[in-house]
Amino acid sequence: MMTKTSAVRGRIAGSADIDIDYLFSRLSEGLEWQKDALCSQIDPEMWFPEDHGPSPAKRLCGECLVKQECLDYAIENNEMHGIWGGMTRKERRKLALKRQAEAS
């Protein structure tokens, strides 16, 4: 039976020396918090509102146990879209600038 990993290995030339499982684990390193995020259980469209009015996503973030990790991730990775850690892109940018000013 062909697994997802073996299928990927088969598409990579010379893949005998490549450990795909290891590569995938490295890509997700530091993102363990995502499995506990409330947003992982909700329709993704909720996190990318088209209007800029009050968002139910922001309210839900207030109850999330990994809100701070989510927010830090979005700021560190300059996440451009969606609600992360209870903040919009504009709010995250403002917070990032504040953090930079405080650090200097």
Burial of 3 (C-beta count, 10 Å sphere; 0-12/13-18/19+): exposed
Q: What is the pLDDT along the chain (104 residues), one digit of tens a residue?
A: 444 444 444 444 455 566 666 655 555 567 788 888 888 888 888 888 776 666 788 888 999 999 999 999 999 999 999 999 999 999 999 999 999 999 98
Its pTM stands at 0.67
Q: For residue 104, give every residue at least 6 positions away whose Cβ sits within 8 Å of its Cβ, in sequence order, or none.
A: none
Identify residue 25 by its one-letter amino acid code: S
Q: What are the pLDDT digits (tens) for 37-46?
A: 888 888 888 8
The residues spanned by each domain of the chain are: 1-30, 32-103
Residue 86, Cβ neighbours under 10 Å: how many?
A: 20
